[in-house]
A and B are shown apart, each in its own frame.
Chain A
Amino acid sequence: MGIVLLSVGVSLLETHLRRERAFLGNLGVRPLVIGLLFAAPALIGELAIRAGGTVFR
């Protein structure tokens, strides 16, 4: 789960550094949604690795 949390952290940091929070806020996008969008690929990858590990053990 570390990689998922890292992805969320990096996404929030990036939007902060790029000063995109106001733009995203004006779009009606909540920080939680941004975090989830960034977490999704990491979560899918994490689950695929675990599933692969189980199948090919």
Chain B
Amino acid sequence: MKPILIADSIAKSFGARRVLTSATLRAVPGELRVLLGRNGVGKSTLLKIAAGWLSSDSGAIHFNGRVHASASLPELASAGLFYLPDHDLLSTAFSIRRQLEMIRLQFDGSDIGAAASQLGIAAHLDKRPFELSGGEKRRAELAAVLVRRPICLLADEPYRGLAPKDAEDLTATFAGLAAGGMAVVVTGHEVQTLLSAADHVSWCTSGTTYDLGPPAVALKSHAFRQEYLGSPGLG
């Protein structure tokens, strides 16, 4: 299927440090894509640029049939993108219910109760995010995704601070969203969990990206195994 989002030939430097030279990220409807790479190689930077959260030095964002030379998150979000940042998404100032209600009203979203029940946070709807555990917060953020029903979801290191069981559940939710037709891209280091559910693997290294294909194919890449996985036991 055709990508709904392409962050094409992205370059980005922070001062004298060149993080990305020519990196490309694609999100394809119905696919869970994982972007893997060592710390500091620019995965989060690429995802932020693709979401319009950060500007690039060069390259372009193609989203839902339009080219955005200088994309911003509000602009892309209005067109159907949802970005889960590598820090807490929800505001501490309002209850989960209030924030989900804002999303529902803004985008004519789906039922809050149903989304909360699906993710097991119905009992926490009237709490504020700081009253929740890490796993509950991630589920509340995913409830925001379910209410919003975006066409594309970019999730930056969503597994931070999660217990293995919560990480598994989170991955299953991502896979479910992709199976429902959403284009999902996730970064993280939870290799086994991610590879077990991913449809496609991209590898970010040395300022660029390589589309390695399905996990079974990616695991045959000697360079990927050698330089990223570092463990001959995987796969």
Grouping DSSP codes into helix (H, G, I), strand (E, B) and loop, the A interface class, with mixed when no group exceeds half, is loop
Could you mark each residue 81-96 of chain B with 1 if its beta carbon is under 8 Å from any beta carbon of chain A, else 0? Answer: 0110101111111000
Residue pairs across A and B with CB atoms within 8 Å: the count is 48
Which B residues are within 8 Å of any A CB, using their own CB? 52-53, 72-75, 77-78, 82-83, 85, 87-93, 99, 102-103, 106-107, 144, 148
Answer whether residue A19 sits at the interface, using C-beta atoms and an 8 A cutoff: yes
A22 adjacent to B93 (CB under 8 Å) = no
Q: Using Cβ atoms and an 8 Å threshold, which residues of chain B touch A53? A: none
Answer whether residue A55 sits at the interface, using C-beta atoms and an 8 A cutoff: no
Report if A25-B83 is in contact (Cβ < 8 Å); known contacts: A30-B72, A30-B74. Answer: yes
How many chain A residues have a CB neighbour from B under 8 Å? 12
Q: Using Cβ atoms and an 8 Å threshold, which residues of chain A touch B99? A: 23
Q: Using Cβ atoms and an 8 Å threshold, which residues of chain B touch A23? A: 89-91, 99
Name the residue of chain A whose CB is nearest to the CB of B103.
A27
A28 adjacent to B77 (CB under 8 Å) = yes
Report A15-35 residues with CB < 8 Å from chain B CB. Answer: 18-20, 22-30
> CA–CA, A23 to B75, complex, Å?
13
> CA–CA, A18 to B72, complex, Å?
20
Q: Using Cβ atoms and an 8 Å threshold, which residues of chain B touch A19? A: 87-88, 91
> CA–CA, A29 to B103, complex, Å?
11
B74 adjacent to A22 (CB under 8 Å) = no
Q: Which of A19, A22, A23, A30 is packed against the most chain B CB atoms within 10 Å?
A: A22
Q: Using Cβ atoms and an 8 Å threshold, which residues of chain B touch A29? A: 74
7 new A-B contacts, CB < 8 A, other than A23-B99, A26-B73, are A20-B93, A24-B74, A25-B72, A26-B77, A26-B103, A27-B103, A29-B74
